[in-house]
Structure 1
Amino acid sequence: MIPLPRELRQCRDCGESVLITVTRLGRYLLVDPRPDERGNQACYRVGPRVWHSRSLDAAGAMPPAAWEHRYVPHVATCKPKKPKATQEALPILPANVTRLDPKRRRRRRSR
């Protein structure tokens, strides 16, 4: 089953078309829009513009059912247009100073 053009979105990193699916845990997973036998995600349409996916690599995972097709996760094929910031772009610190910026998490504001 191939998704309709209105069901596809653009990847923020590479600009390619992707299909957004919902996993069994309720999280979003981007997959490439064409079925591929090399894929490890079984995806199927639940309703208009709603797709679900499940991993075929999990322990005890069943093979794809008749209504499911294999898709490749987009993270495996994504080629970002702009390189991500690296540690080399940051200023050099003395040997006894540790940079905490990359290890910090964003805090949610409570209202």
Structure 2
Amino acid sequence: MIPTPHDLDPCPHGCGELVLWTITEHGRRMAVDAEPHELGNQAVFRTGPGGWRSRSLDGADAPRLAPWEHRYKPHVATCTAPRPAQPAIPGLGGGRPRPRRRAPARRPIWKAR
């Protein structure tokens, strides 16, 4: 089943494309492209009014595509919006790394005479 315009939302990253939000097998939200794609690796099906589920078709143990499912591509694979740079992690110094200090020279335990 192809989603209706009511099911689609604009890309959250700002590329301007419409995406379909699904719930994965693990209960996470995942955006897929609005149109089915024959090379997609996600099996998507409708669970009810406004509900969409997806599961991966990758892996040796993944079941085949069922008759009620369609192949879709994850939107993250086709999104053209630039990704924001990861902010600096607080407490890790964020700048140039400090030069490494050399270990102090070891003193011999005994002197050879």
TM-score, normalized by length of structure 2?
0.73
Structure 1 95/43 Cα, relative in aligned 2: closer, same or farther at 3 Å? closer
Residue matched to 1:72: 73
**Aligned partners of 1:95 and 1:35: how far apart in 2?**
47
More helix by share: 1
Residue matched to 2:57: 56
- Alignment coverage as a number of residue pairs: 92
Q: Deviations over 1:50-83 (max 9, x none)?
A: 0000000034001100000000000000011x55
Residue matched to 2:35: 34
The correspondence for 1:96, drawn from 98, 103, 108, is: 98
TM-score, normalized by length of structure 1?
0.74
Structural RMSD (CA): 2.0
% identity of equivalent residues: 51
Instruction: Give the ranges of 4+ consecutive aligned residues of structure 1 lying more than 2 Å apart after TM superposition.
Output: 82-87, 92-95
Gaps of 5+ in 1: 98-111
**Aligned partners of 1:29 and 1:86: how far apart in 2?**
21
Listed as ranges, the matches of 1:3-14 within 5 Å are 3-13=3-13, 14=15
**Aligned partners of 2:60 and 2:41: how far apart in 1?**
13
Larger-Rg structure? 2
**Aligned partners of 2:61 and 2:96: how far apart in 1?**
50
The alpha carbon displacement at 1:85 in A equals 3.0
